[in-house]
Structure 1
């Protein structure tokens, strides 16, 4: 009974937070509404996931990332590839653009199996799922009109793992196609290591820990990402905390309080974060959205 009571308490918090975010014009709020609508449609298939999506349809800066990526899509996205992004974005693309085809590659077998099952149960037939990493695109030179990889490249380990992934994705774009990336940014480059392999894809480092992610600064964006986008027309978007330290504080609260905290994300994003016009304007941590359009030969 206590667990049921906690669920409904969190559900009420989420409802009010969503209404607040909507009243403040929070970017990406339509994705939260879409996620909640899927939760009702999927309840019989996966009650646990459905409950999670009702309370936390999007996590933190995903509000900006999904909105940014959605705004980058052409009127007809064409043949698309999703490299390991959160499933909600690709489900909406495929369901909205029925004439497009969305290929999803993800090395996390459990995650990709869930995505495939969700698409099938929703009747979204223009999605094809493969349990592979970005290397799956290596054999598809100039094959896709649109490729997106949202909050992914920072997790690809190896000295040049992220850079090589960008090269592979860009090479897989047709001329005139668009590559959309989002990744975490900060004023001074850093890497995070954890005690357990979060995705089942990492090798243990000399310090006994596992690589988790990079936080890019302005120089690393240039040297690790932009340098691989030969002759591309590039545009950026920036979204970050209003006060330095907020994102770290939110993550600690998420770990400590779980769903009771994540239910508040729409309100927190609307009050504690904002879109910035430039890198220099951001006071601390955030995310960067990048669109690279490949030139015609």
Structure 2
């Protein structure tokens, strides 16, 4: 009886997980399918899921109208640049919080995380004025800096969690063997936390890639990433759903592929230290 109950529960949990997964993925699937429709079929009522005339004209027109490669490279440079810069700052910060005794470490971490609760529009005007005065508007460097600062609390918090799972005795043994502070962080701590660092890196790339508020307000043409590329298909004449879907598919395809191939590493890093 217990085995039967366990088997039934496993089936129900699996069905529930698949249902939630399909519900989350359905908007993405609908966007991809709409990108292969004509504009008339995209707004047809009732809509058709697969029974329509498949066409590539939306992708041809999107590529003819916009420089997709420029937006793509901007997204790559901005997301990778902000992630690497964030890791350079966050690894020493998380190390000091995890292994240097302090009375208010958790309070500091909570304060850092609380900055994510502030609505971005609340600081838009001062940041815009600073960027204007320093010549950082519509530049990759400016976006790298602002996205680093925005995502830095999450990076530090995640790395602190991973570093706390590493026994402090290992670092003490390295100090007794004559390891310097640099050797301790680079050659001892970092290799042991590779799964956690990798998952943090992947998550931050996704966050930076999908950031729309700051990229739309701080760029115009030169440094505009793929989020601005998508927004350019919302015009005063109305929404062209098929072309907008094609632009969205081109924008999300690289990050979907990255997530697909790195899902094992991402799950491993997010569960790092969960089982002892």
Q: TM-score higher than 0.5 here? A: no
> Which structure's residues are more often strand, by fraction?
1
- Relative to the length of structure 1, the TM-score reads 0.21
User: Of Structure 1 and Structure 2, which has the larger fraction of its residues in helix?
Assistant: 2
Asked which structure has the greater CA Rg, the reply is: 2
Pick 1 or 2: higher relative contact order, CA cutoff 8 A, min separation 6. 2
TM-score (norm 2): 0.22
